[in-house]
A = this chain, B = another copy of it.
């Protein structure tokens, strides 16, 4: 049985070698206070592009994916174009673009490779100290988010994804930001589905913008995101930590680490995003903005 996530990020190969795709309203987000159409979550778009790449790749995993988000995807037909630049024994690299109406919405470069399972691990193994995550039973749901239902009554991103937060990192919900741009939370689909490369692509950008911790509650579009898949994740919720190092000139960075249920580092990312404009928001809007991280 196909899950909603797999259906929403599916691609089908055309006779001309391109892939048909369709940015899916079930992973769309309604910008709070906006009358513009819902925008599909960037991670879901990334998963869509990766499906096309991995269909053709000589290696199984997207070890390095660079993505530049150029335009807001429309809820309309799209195409994925894949061009291989190198297919080597250790790594292969493709340029892959999500295109609508002849314009690039999302431009990616993907290098694929192999990742050994634990049992097959050879050579140097080393991991830095993990972030401290509270037990999942001590984490909190953000509750009913604005944006869960779009203008057509379609369930959106927040209806598909559950994030349970370290309570110390979501003071911004009560208009009491911690003053530290850092979040920790457990990320999973609401439906039963084990994590894999596609879900990791969504998890690395699955939490609200990290600058909420500094009280900057506006819409924060991702401009560029690069993520590295480091291991094949085990079943169970993903523990995601995000942090920021620098905010200036309207730009901020957000780094994410994703750890699986067995405590292994499975993905890393850094993105550059724009600090949201507009005034500091009320609590009600803040909750809505928790899902406002689309492009």
Contact = CB atoms under 8 A, between A and B. Distances in A.
Interface stretch (A1-9, A110-118, A134-142): A110-118
Contact of A224 (B127, B226, B248): B226
A93 to B, nearest CB: 5
A64 interface: yes
Contact of A251 (B113, B211, B251, B272): B113
A104 B109 CA distance: 13
Contacts of A71: 86
A91 interface: yes
B109 A66 contact: yes
Contacts of A249: 114-116, 121, 123, 230-231
- Interface centre among A95, A249, A251, by most B CB within 10 Å? A249
A85 B96 CA distance: 13
A144 interface: no
Interface string A250-290: 11110001000000010010101011000000000000000
Contact of A270 (B111, B244, B268): B268
Contacts of A109: 66, 68, 107, 109, 224
A272 B113 CA distance: 12
Interface of A: 63-64, 66, 68, 70-71, 85-86, 90-91, 93, 95, 104, 107, 109, 111, 113-116, 121, 123-128, 181, 211, 214, 216, 223-224, 226, 228, 230-231, 243-253, 257, 265, 268, 270, 272, 274-275
